[in-house]
């Protein structure tokens, strides 16, 4: 492996996990990103050089002077006219996509890959947490920040060579983990690697997992695939790469043709909330108690009673069923599983409670979620409704991508109409250029909620303080809506606690 690793788009959630892995294993890591964020600031604090101007002179001298000893990792979000990328190409650097690097890192190792158009980040974080909490040494590359781990990367202690990272992560490693000496060479061959397998740009086809979870195959990324049939075909190819003797754990909503595409000898476990939905893996006696969901797991490895999940939502019960099944495959005992499920705290921006105030009878709650697909939004909002059936619900949603808005405007409108009031922001473009006629108005015009509007950031913040007619506020979206969260938290902390 090369000494210098340079990231174009280092602030991405998947890119930053890879950057941390290389840094932890003794490589010299640096990178570019468009803007400073809390994540890039965290990388800098861990000793990774990050800059924000697209200029060849900003590339560290060691990278410019050591082409043959440098690996360049590229995110698809980097625009084609990027100056640094052009220079690196012209000078013959080894440039690979993030997915290609992840494929190389997992080669020859026991890989647990979690795929799906939604649910994969939460489910992969659950798998990593359950194994880690039970004392099973494992590595994990996650697509979100695990609250339990405080990171998007999990490594067994012996793999952390970088002292800043070792210190930062020491609190996340419980006494269950076996101590290791600092002079041991990093290796993952004896431990499972949990990977979020991204279907965007067919990235997950670089993986050859031992265990694969498929949480969903709903239409998405039609800018890449063109139609749902092509997307489903990519999932068929993905499960076709499961290792001989491996296992596919697949949600009941997934296209039936996907499970049929597994190689001979691969075990298929179908899961859902009920025995009718998931004949192989399901839950019984599901009850909501406050923010907790209690249930019993019925699966191929037996029954585990009285699991207590502190992250609400029926969709999260489904996610935990799949994750717990993986833990059972890794020989986690029932009592260990009960303790690990109870200790799970979720992922940042996945059903994350920001402010809670008021009383049991009249709660005031602000919750934030990353949902950016109609089915995700529907699952999230219906779960909020189940928790607070009689409260006025205001939702602030930022559409993500012009193509996704164009393709799913009716679905977005229908899912958002679960709320009493919907506030839309302008579309977050990410990697895309505007499309003629595609704006948030496409969604707004089809929303049937009693109240709806299009508001700027300033208006959203002003109205949060000025209007007290709502009980539950939810911010939803995958763009930069999270930048509103600290300001809204401060406003509502004062507004609701002084009321």
Q: Per the structure block, which two tokens stand in for 125? A: 């974080």
Contacts 24+ apart (CB under 8 A), 60-67: 60/6, 60/30, 62/4, 62/28, 63/4, 63/6, 63/30, 66/3, 66/4, 67/91, 67/92, 67/93
Identify the residue whose tokens are 């705290």: 345
Q: Which residues contact 202 (CB under 8 A, 6 or more apart)?
A: 224, 234, 237
- Whether residue 287 is annotated as binding a ligand: the answer is no
Residue pair 351/320 in contact by the 8 Å Cβ criterion: no
Strand partners, 423: 396, 453
- Whether residue 116 is annotated as binding a ligand: the answer is yes
Burial of residue 494 (number of CB atoms within 10 Å: 0-12, 13-18, 19+): exposed
- Whether residue 70 is annotated as binding a ligand: the answer is no
List phi, psi (to 5°) of 389.
-65, -25
- Whether residue 452 is annotated as binding a ligand: the answer is no
Q: Which residues contact 417 (CB under 8 A, 6 or more apart)?
A: 447, 448, 449
Residue pair 139/111 in contact by the 8 Å Cβ criterion: no
User: Which DSSP helix (H) or strand (E) runs through 292?
Assistant: strand 292-299
> Strands 421-424, 451-454: parallel, antiparallel or unpaired by DSSP?
parallel
- Whether residue 119 is annotated as binding a ligand: the answer is yes
CA distance 340 to 98: 31
CA distance 238 to 296: 31
Other C-beta atoms within 10 Å of 90: how many? 8
- Whether residue 118 is annotated as binding a ligand: the answer is yes
- Whether residue 122 is annotated as binding a ligand: the answer is yes
Residues 147, 203, 208, 116, Cα dihedral to 10°: 60
Binding-site residues for ATP, in ranges, read 116-122
Binding-site residues, in ranges, read 116-122
């Amino acid at each position: 492996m090369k000494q210098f690793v340079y990231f174009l788009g280092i602030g991405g959630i998947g890119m930053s996990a890879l950057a941390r892995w290389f840094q932890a294993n003794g490589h010299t890591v640096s990178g570019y990103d468009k803007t400073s964020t809390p994540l890039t600031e965290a990388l800098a604090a861990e000793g990774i050089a990050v800059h924000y101007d697209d200029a060849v002179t900003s590339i560290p001298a060691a990278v410019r002077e050591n082409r043959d000893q440098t690996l360049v990792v590229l995110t698809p979000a980097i625009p084609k006219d990027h100056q640094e990328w052009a220079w690196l190409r012209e000078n013959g650097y080894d440039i690979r996509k993030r997915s290609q690097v992840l494929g190389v890192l997992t080669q020859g190792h026991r890989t647990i890959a979690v795929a799906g158009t939604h649910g994969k980040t939460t489910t992969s974080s659950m798998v990593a947490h359950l194994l880690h909490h039970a004392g099973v040494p494992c590595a994990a590359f996650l697509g979100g920040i695990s609250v339990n781990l405080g990171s998007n990367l999990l490594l067994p202690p012996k793999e952390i060579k970088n002292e800043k990272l070792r210190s930062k992560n020491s609190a996340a490693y419980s006494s269950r983990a076996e101590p290791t000496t600092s002079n041991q060479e990093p290796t993952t061959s004896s431990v499972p690697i949990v990977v979020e397998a991204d279907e965007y740009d067919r990235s997950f086809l670089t993986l050859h997992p031992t265990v694969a979870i498929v949480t969903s195959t709903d239409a998405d990324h039609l800018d890449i695939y063109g139609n749902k049939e092509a997307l489903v075909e990519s999932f068929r190819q993905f499960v076709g790469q499961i290792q001989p003797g491996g296992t596919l754990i697949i949600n009941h909503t997934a296209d039936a043709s996907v499970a049929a595409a597994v190689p001979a000898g691969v075990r298929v476990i179908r899961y859902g909330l009920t025995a009718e939905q998931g004949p192989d893996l399901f839950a019984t006696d599901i009850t909501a108690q406050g923010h907790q969901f209690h249930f019993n797991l019925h699966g191929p490895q037996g029954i585990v009673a009285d699991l207590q999940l502190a992250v609400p939502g029926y969709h999260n019960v489904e996610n935990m069923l799949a994750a717990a099944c993986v833990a059972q495959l890794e020989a986690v005992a029932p009592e260990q599983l009960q303790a690990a499920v109870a200790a799970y705290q979720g992922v940042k921006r996945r059903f994350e409670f920001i402010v809670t105030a008021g009383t049991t009878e009249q709660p005031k709650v602000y919750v934030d979620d990353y949902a950016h697909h109609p089915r995700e939004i529907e699952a999230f909002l219906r779960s909020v409704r189940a928790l607070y059936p009689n409260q006025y619900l205001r939702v602030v949603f930022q559409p993500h991508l012009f193509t996704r808005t164009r393709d799913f405007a009716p679905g977005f409108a229908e899912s958002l109409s679960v709320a009493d009031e919907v506030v839309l922001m302008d579309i977050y473009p990410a990697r895309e250029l505007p499309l003629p006629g595609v704006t948030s108005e496409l969604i707004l015009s089809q929303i049937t909620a009693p109240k709806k509007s299009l508001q700027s950031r300033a208006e959203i913040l002003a109205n949060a303080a000025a209007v007290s007619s709502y009980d539950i506020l939810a911010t939803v979206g995958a763009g930069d809506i999270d930048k509103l969260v600290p300001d809204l938290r401060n406003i509502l902390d004062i507004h609701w606690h002084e009321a």
